[in-house]
Amino acid sequence: MPDTLFALDGKTAVIVGGGSGIGEAVAAGAAAQGARVFVLDANEPAAGAVASRIGGGARAQRLDICDAPAVRVCFEAAVAETGRLDIVVCTPGINVRKPILDYAGDEFDRVVALNLKGSFNVLQAAGRIMVARRAGSIVIFSSIRSRVVEPGQSVYAMTKAGIVQLVRTAAAEFGPAGVRVNAVAPGVVETPLTAPIKANPEWYNAYRAKSALQRWARAEEMVGPTLFLASDAASYVTGTVLFADGGWTAADGRFTPPL
């Protein structure tokens, strides 16, 4: 097995949502593997701090993925500077936890706009560039909620399931041009998005006990699955969902029967 199988030397990687959480960890991981990294985030100071920390000529820029023209401009700028666009990773997501009967229209629109339309904007802009170049890897973040749900997760789960079908369709459409498209589906990860859960010990511990590994994930533990899909190690992997969930979806977890 060649030593370069997971290497990203000479490649341009755009990490959307790279200012915090999983995106920040992936940006640092891609830089460590030799990629030229562009850190894009709605929080420009946070993106700048990450780019400064990881070094290697990393660039930072503000990006609202709900703004399709802005997404295109950012990706085209990366190509103009480096001459290529090899990897795009999209991590942003929001959640409004409410019963379906209590959900407000503007809350629905906000979650769908970022999670689903934003992911579509990223996928479309990256796909146009990569299909023309006939090379590239796109990784979009889904969730265990694309497969299993709980009360209060209706719209979030809907968008994360939608991302799976979006990824599969893109894989089918972009595949003839040599462009791969995959999704990562994390379980519970300690990030700013899940901070309210961590602040509630009963809730936090219930989630901890649900996974087969009996713990939450660290953001850094999403780097390996993501960069595997982005790298040549996954050169024949497309249209798939990699569940990095500590066994959450493998085991029922509600009750351990006597054996």
> Is there a contact between 70 and 63 (Cβ–Cβ < 8 Å)?
yes
Residue tagged active-site, from 156, 204, 207, 236: 156
Nearest-CA neighbor of 114 among 143, 130, 94? Answer: 94
End-to-end alpha carbon distance in the chain: 42
> Is there a contact between 216 and 239 (Cβ–Cβ < 8 Å)?
no
Half-sphere exposure of 67 (CA within 13 A, CB side): 11
Which tokens in the block code for residue 65? 């993925």
Is residue 236 annotated as part of the catalytic site, yes or no?
A: no
What backbone torsions phi and psi does residue 187 show, to the nearest 5 degrees? -90, -135
Residues 144-169 as b or e (16 or more Cβ within 10 Å = b): bbbbeeeebbbbbbbbbbbbbebbbe
Catalytic residues: 156
